[in-house]
Amino acid sequence: MTPRTNQRIDGKRLWDSLMDMARFGATPKGGVKRLTLTDIDRQGRDFFRTNCEAAGLAVRIDGMGNMFARRPGRDPARLPVLFGSHLDSQPTGGKFDGALGVIAGLEVMRSLNDLGITTEAPVELINWTDEEGSRFGHSLMGSGVWAGVYTQEKMQALADPDGVTVGEALVEIGYAGPEVAAPFPADAYFELHIEQGPILEAEGKQIGIVTGGQAQVWYGAVVTGRDSHAGTTPPARRRDALVAAARIIDLVDRMMRARGEDGRGTVGRLTVLPNSCNVIPGEVRFSVEFRHPDEAEIGRLAAQFPREAGFIARDCEVTLELTELFRIPAQPFDPECVELVRQATRKLGLSAREIVSGAGHDAVYVARHVPTAMIFTPCKDGLSHNEAESILPEEAEAGCQVLFEAVLARANRAL
């Protein structure tokens, strides 16, 4: 790590805390399964909260379970500088997706304490609820409600595959806060995250200066055919929902590939009913998502996909119910906040490049209300949403030091 500052975060403490957090939901393959609002998530949240309080931070929880840990500034009239990420994970997630930003935020707070720094503005560390969307099928949930994109009521009514709603799960783990999640005035938001893709590693860059997030659209699809006997139903009588779904999945892949290197199209979840070897499937439910840096391209995909999927359903003599769950426009980040990240990398002598985020992040919704920027660090083989996700301690330290510098510069800026 670069010695170009005498205000250093503690890289070893950061790494140790990341490994401590990774114990909650640790999987045999070295990853993490910390699904949102489960008891494992509760344990991770409790650990985070205890450590925030031990660092002298005042923790509050909103109605979506978003956690806010505040450190006062010298001037209480100034708006807070926010930073954070998420502690929930995918079912086969890694140790760093989300956790890096939250635990690095904790290290920023601890370092401010150790260095005896009182910032001009208050600073506030956030753990957003359910960034991943893997349990209730809706990503960026806590930040989305906070930003006013979705109502708390609507999100709390979403149920997981066992029928447990978000609202019930929040109460069950003791993280249903009293105040409705809503944006409050803030001066800036910074989020440190692993890149989750291959670009920084391939170019040997230590830091990604994130200029914005790409557009996306998500659907829920239900194909309904007819259950019938596998051995007796001849081809003309089959209404096979899975065959139709398979052709629609192939359509998603073809539409993605038609858009070249920038195209993204995924079916990641699929339920087959009745899921019996000798019954022609009568119903298939699945997710569809497309992403692209160019918002106009998402508009074209959203016009084309329902129409072409409908043709496939008609040819297969099944019905298709397609619900657009959400559409997120491309979100540019705030030039002044991005500049603070750029300046921090220069000051520290770190190699860096500008980058558009391929993954979705809470920062994309926060940016609708608060000037926002993100910082990326490389990850091994560009791999994420995988238990093998891995970063080096010095990469985490460099990212955290950039976060520290950007937060400090913003919180102490002349108004």
- Interacting residues toward ligand GLV by CB under 6 A: 132, 139, 359-360
Partner from Mn ion, ligand GLV, none binding residue 143, C-beta < 5-8 Å depending on class = none
Q: Which stretch binds Mn ion (CB under 5 A): 7-15, 126-134, 178-186, 202-210?
A: 126-134
Q: In angstroms, what is the minimal distance from the CB of 375 to ligand GLV? A: 17
Q: Pull the structure tokens for residue 191.
A: 């989020």
Q: Which is nearer to ligand GLV, 160 or 240 (CB)?
A: 160
Please say which residue, 192 or 309, places its beta carbon nearer to Mn ion.
192
How far apart CA 35 and CA 4 sit, in angstroms, is 39
Q: How many residues bind Mn ion (CB under 5 A)?
A: 3
Cβ 34 to Mn ion shortest distance, Å: 11
Residue appearing with tokens 């992040």: 361
Shortest Cβ distance from residue 242 to ligand GLV (Å)?
25
How far is the C-alpha of 224 from the C-alpha of 320, rounded, in Å?
Answer: 6
H or E element in which residue 252 lies: helix 241-257
> Among ligand GLV, Mn ion, none, what does residue 139 contact (CB within 5–8 Å per kind)?
ligand GLV
Helix %, strand %, coil % for the chain, to 5? 35, 25, 40
C-alpha–C-alpha distance, residues 184 and 369, integer Å: 9
Contact status: 362 vs Mn ion (CB under 5 A): no
| Residue 62 interacts with which of ligand GLV, Mn ion, none, CB < 5 to 8 Å by class | none
Residue 267 binds: one of Mn ion, ligand GLV, none (C-beta under 5 to 8 A by kind): none
Binding mask 80-99 for Mn ion (x = CB under 5 A): -----------------xx-
Count CB neighbours of 8 within 10 A.
17
Q: Match 């950061």 to its residue by tokens.
A: 14
Between residues 121 and 194, which has the closer beta carbon with respect to ligand GLV? Answer: 194
Nearer to ligand GLV, 132 or 283 (CB): 132
CB of 122 to ligand GLV, least distance (A): 29
Tokens 């502690």 belong to 87
CB of 99 to ligand GLV, least distance (A): 13
Q: Give CA separation, 81 vs 49, 131, 144, 347, 409, in Å.
A: 19, 21, 19, 21, 10
To ligand GLV, the closest distance from the beta carbon of 297 in angstroms equals 17
- Helix 99-114 × helix 393-411 angle, to 10°: 60
Distance between CA 155 and CA 162 in Å, rounded?
16
Is the CB of 219 or the CB of 404 nearer to ligand GLV? Answer: 219
Q: Provide the residue type at 183 as one letter.
A: P
Nearer to ligand GLV, 209 or 359 (CB): 359
Residue 202 corresponds to which amino acid?
A
Binding partner at 80 among ligand GLV, Mn ion, none, C-beta below 5 to 8 Å by kind: none
Who's near 407: CB < 8 A, 6+ residues apart? Answer: 81, 83, 108, 119, 123, 190
**Choosing among ligand GLV, Mn ion, none, which partner's interface includes residue 405 (Cβ < 5 to 8 Å by kind)?**
none
Q: Looking at beta carbons only, is 152 or 214 nearer to ligand GLV?
A: 214
Choice between 122 and 213, CB closer to ligand GLV = 213
Q: Which residue has the tokens 């030039």?
A: 335
Cα distance between residue 248 and residue 196, in whole Å: 27
Cα 349 to Cα 100, 232, 308, distances in angstroms: 21, 71, 51
Tokens of 74: 């010298």
Residue 65 touches which member of Mn ion, ligand GLV, none, C-beta under 5-8 Å by kind? none
The binding site for Mn ion (CB under 5 A) comprises 97-98, 132
